[in-house]
Structure 1
Amino acid sequence: MDQIQAIRAFARVVEAGNFTRAADSLEMPNATLSKLVQELEAHLGIRLLQRTTRRVSVTPEGQDYYEKTMRILRDLEDVDTSFNAARSKPRGQLRIDVGGSTARDVLIPALPEFMALYPDIRIDLGVSDRAVDLIGDSVDCVIRGGALDNSSLVARKIGQARMVTCATPAYLKQYGVPAYPEELKNGHRLVSYVTTQNGRAMPFRFERDGEKSEIKIEHRIGINESNAHLAAGLAGLGIIQTFSYAAGPSLKDGALVEILKKWRPAAYPFYVVYPQSRHLTHRLRVFIDWLVEVFPGRIGA
């Protein structure tokens, strides 16, 4: 038995939650993965996983073994990486997930620079605003904004974006220009951004002189994708609150007009996120370092 390979196989099952997804992420047959875990259990003389026809769960002994062996694996991989990075260029595939407007307006326009710096790295870019299972979906990292609530993930801040509240000139001519946030409750039509995590509409947030407020009223339309959300504002469906980098061109050419400028909400933080248990490959390290350098300037931070 290759114990290191068996430990890695077991760890991926723990992270993915089942054998099929773990096998897919490791690009090995399900039967091979299952055999590796069985051999590891026989070698240790303990049961690491409880298997039923519907699910796989980790035993208390398995959880303890996972936590201890992951520290060893990370140390081993760090040693390997330090030597490999010193004598080779980063190469291979990077799977990255990013939200719609951030992909369109920030990351994709900047990618030619990264690809020129690292021509041996291939990128598979997943673009959506949905929550991603980094382990199950075999994603190396995601770029996301807002608060992070998963302690099993590592998040590195890469910048912050300004938020703007805006609408079309035609909408403002018909419904009037609100002078205060509270006026949004008086007959105005809001186009809310609906999060894919819980299906709830994001409140309209405002801040002035350190005082924060939220407007929560029933929206006329809710949209769960950032590009479509901006398009709804441009179509005159109502007032939107979005990132300045996304609305910037439309504000510049007059298709949208910013309102309530004195009550702009606090800057919105952005992070690059990856699993705590996943080793940082040389290619992922250089990508993250590059993001930290270029991202702030492109989101207007």
Structure 2
Amino acid sequence: MDLTALRIFVRVAELGSFTQTADQLGLAKGRVSAAVQKLEMQVGTRLLQRTTRQVRLTADGEQFLGRCKALIEDAENLQAMFQPVKSGLRGRLRIDLPTALARRLIIPRLPEFLAENPALELGISTTDHQVDLIHEGFDCVLRVGFLRDTELVARPVGAMQMCNLASPAYLAVYGTPTTLADLDQHRIVHYAAKLGTQGAGWEYLEGTQRRLHPMRSAIVVNGTDAAQAACLAGLGMVQAPLVGAQHLIDAGQLVSVMPDLTAAAMPVTLLYPHRRQVPPRVQGILNWLTQVLETFLQDADAATSLPSSTPAPRHIGR
């Protein structure tokens, strides 16, 4: 049985679309359709129910999908079983990373990683929005922020210390706040994954509880780069991970304010699909990302858990 056809079938089943599968795998749509049809002929049953609006698994297809995934994983592990260690990882990997972490910490270290793994083909998506790992075809994603319930495997990496920042120009106009009451006279650059969906506020810790002090904002952004640029332009204060702002503090472009009223440290987590056995290339990138990031992060226990009654975090760094 053709492993390529099995991989195509799995992706079609996960995405529910021949077109999206063709786009992700870089194949013609006709080839994707032909591969699935040939597979159905080989196993002697219809695996997918096709309509003009959707593609979904049949009852036989659901049973076949689980066995199919296991067979692919076994084949990959068998193929790598006797590969010399010095040959490194091989195959294709697709990962999604937060923009700031990718730019400042991860991509600068990639040359050494790829030099050790010359047969590895790496695709990197950078975004500050949560992606659908399964339906968008990623092998793993790195997320900064408190996780809600997820069916993915979560591997804690650490926690990012947060800081409060303002530009010298902003402070010259509005003054330097020292108390929560002072914030009523100030503005915050409001970060929201979806514009207009959340009210602006100043996050802080009261003991181990996360609190939110409502604030006015002159601008709402949905990206870390835009938030940082807005802060530099004097449009308001921001609450952001220290690791992405330290160079601006050192250069005097941003000033730390109210250090005793910072937001809770943000957990950093690697997520990947449930699998009986994680392919060597995925395990390799998980280990490498952990090694790269651990130098810059606090222990994972530094991140305060998210009570169910607590509103979703509003500061930067997803």
TM-score, normalised relative to structure 1: 0.84
Partner of 1:188: 186
Relative to 1, partners in 2 of residues 1:77 and 1:120: Cα closer, same or farther, differing over 3 Å? closer
**What is the correspondence of 1:221-300 to structure 2 with a 5 Å cutoff?**
221-276=219-274, 280-299=278-297
Relative to 1, partners in 2 of residues 1:214 and 1:85: Cα closer, same or farther, differing over 3 Å? farther
- What code does the residue aligned with 1:265 have? A
The answer to whether the 8 Å contact 1:163/1:266 transfers is yes
Note the C-alpha offset of 1:270. 1.3
Question: Could you tell me how far apart the structure 2 residues matched to 1:270 and 1:164 are?
Answer: 16
Note the C-alpha offset of 1:283. 3.4
Question: Could you tell me how far apart the structure 1 residues matched to 2:270 and 2:284 are?
Answer: 13
Question: Could you tell me how far apart the structure 1 residues matched to 2:276 and 2:120 are?
Answer: 19
Note the C-alpha offset of 1:226. 0.7
What secondary structure does 1:286 align onto?
helix
Question: Could you tell me how far apart the structure 2 residues matched to 1:215 and 1:62 are?
Answer: 51
The answer to whether the 8 Å contact 1:208/1:262 transfers is no
Matched, 1:35 2:37: no
- What code does the residue aligned with 1:10 have? F
Please say which of residues 286-295 and 151-160 is displaced more in the overlay: 151-160
What secondary structure does 2:220 align onto?
strand
Relative to 1, partners in 2 of residues 1:200 and 1:110: Cα closer, same or farther, differing over 3 Å? farther
Partner of 1:163: 162
- What code does the residue aligned with 1:83 have? F
Structure 1 alignment gaps of length 5 or more? none
Question: Could you tell me how far apart the structure 2 residues matched to 1:197 and 1:224 are?
Answer: 7
Q: Deviations 1:27-65 (Å, cap 9, x if unpaired)?
A: 433223223323433444543322112221223443333
Q: Deviations 1:134-190 (Å, cap 9, x if unpaired)?
A: 455444333221134474433322222111111122322322322233542x12111
Q: Deviations 1:4-32 (Å, cap 9, x if unpaired)?
A: 44433221111122012223333433223
Question: Could you tell me how far apart the structure 1 residues matched to 2:261 and 2:144 are?
Answer: 20
What secondary structure does 2:186 align onto?
coil
Note the C-alpha offset of 1:297. 1.0
Partner of 1:98: 97
What secondary structure does 1:28 align onto?
coil
What secondary structure does 1:230 align onto?
helix
Partner of 2:61: 62
RMSD: 3.0
The answer to whether the 8 Å contact 2:146/2:266 transfers is no
The count of corresponding residues between Structure 1 and Structure 2 is: 299
What secondary structure does 2:293 align onto?
helix
Partner of 1:213: 211
- What code does the residue aligned with 1:84 have? Q
Partner of 2:175: 176
Question: Could you tell me how far apart the structure 2 residues matched to 1:121 and 1:289 are?
Answer: 15
Relative to 1, partners in 2 of residues 1:90 and 1:74: Cα closer, same or farther, differing over 3 Å? closer
Question: Could you tell me how far apart the structure 2 residues matched to 1:263 and 1:221 are?
Answer: 22
Partner of 1:113: 112
Note the C-alpha offset of 1:106. 1.4
Question: Could you tell me how far apart the structure 2 residues matched to 1:120 and 1:68 are?
Answer: 28
- What code does the residue aligned with 1:26 have? L
Question: Could you tell me how far apart the structure 2 residues matched to 1:73 and 1:202 are?
Answer: 47
Note the C-alpha offset of 1:239. 0.9
What secondary structure does 1:83 align onto?
coil
Question: Could you tell me how far apart the structure 2 residues matched to 1:179 and 1:196 are?
Answer: 30
Question: Could you tell me how far apart the structure 2 residues matched to 1:66 and 1:180 are?
Answer: 57
Structure 2 alignment gaps of length 5 or more? 300-318
- What code does the residue aligned with 2:190 have? S
Partner of 2:47: 48
Question: Could you tell me how far apart the structure 1 residues matched to 2:123 and 2:136 are?
Answer: 12
TM-score, normalised relative to structure 2: 0.80
Matched, 1:7 2:21: no
- What code does the residue aligned with 2:112 have? E
Question: Could you tell me how far apart the structure 2 residues matched to 1:5 and 1:278 are?
Answer: 20
Please say which of residues 162-171 and 27-36 is displaced more in the overlay: 27-36
The answer to whether the 8 Å contact 2:142/2:268 transfers is yes
Note the C-alpha offset of 1:83. 3.1
What secondary structure does 2:245 align onto?
helix
